[in-house]
Amino acid sequence: MATQKSAQHRFGELVKDQREQRRPRWTQRELADRLADKGINMHWTTIAKIEKGQRQVGIHEAAAFADVFKCSVDALLGRRPRLKGDLLFVFRRLSETLSQARWTFSSTASSLREQSDELAEIDDDGRFAAFIAQCREVADACAAPLDAIDSIEFAGGVVGRATKAMLRAWLEQEGQNA
């Protein structure tokens, strides 16, 4: 209970610090307005209670505070960044996002080509020729993001082929240089 209370109090102190560091300084009412823009409807008096450690914050609220202040929830909890662990996590997420983007562009281009060809085969009078041409242009346009994704390099190799060992070696080297 004491740890929860102190974490709650620390979160409130850091929210207040973040709010007061803004130039011009944000009022609690201005912070409430910015949170409302993020979908969190909170009265300014509630923010005052949070800052004093008198009100707990839900996960979705903590995330909104972090978004408004452009920092991590960890920073609002007073946690120090763990460079190695955080970097590996972010790297994995970024690699997964690139893989998803590559698949999305590739499958979209493929589907557009196949369906355009199919429509062209049954469009005897050319009624859909312009539409088919536009769909093929979009399919061709998908090549540029694919080329960009394929050209991304990290630590001397394409991201899709970068290994955990390569990243770990880099992290170890960075740790020794720190």
pTM score? 0.49
- CATH number, domain 2-76: 1.10.260.40
Q: For residue 47, count other CB atoms closer than 10 A to its CB.
A: 24
Rounded Cα gap, residues 55 and 47, in angstroms: 9
Provide DSSP, 78-129: TPPP-HHHHHHHHHHHHHHHHHHHHHHHHHHHHHHHHHHHHHHHH-TT-TTH
Q: What is the pLDDT of residue 82?
A: 66
What pLDDT is recorded for position 160?
A: 47
| Region 39-65 average pLDDT | 96
What would the mean pLDDT of 123-146 be, rounded to a whole number? 93
Greater model confidence, 152 or 106: 106
pLDDT of residue 154: 53
pLDDT digits 0-9 by tens, 74-101: 889 988 766 666 677 777 778 788 888 8
State the CB neighbour count (10 A cutoff) for residue 158.
Answer: 13
Q: How far, in Å, are 18, 48, 118, 155, 166 from residue 160 at the CA level?
A: 38, 47, 33, 12, 13
Task: Identify which of 18, 1, 119, 148 has the alpha carbon closest to the alpha carbon of residue 30.
Answer: 18
pLDDT in tens, 143-171: 888 888 877 755 444 444 455 566 666 66
Question: What is the model's pLDDT at position 100?
Answer: 86
Distance CA 39, CA 18 (A): 20
Q: What is the mean pLDDT of residues 38-67?
A: 96
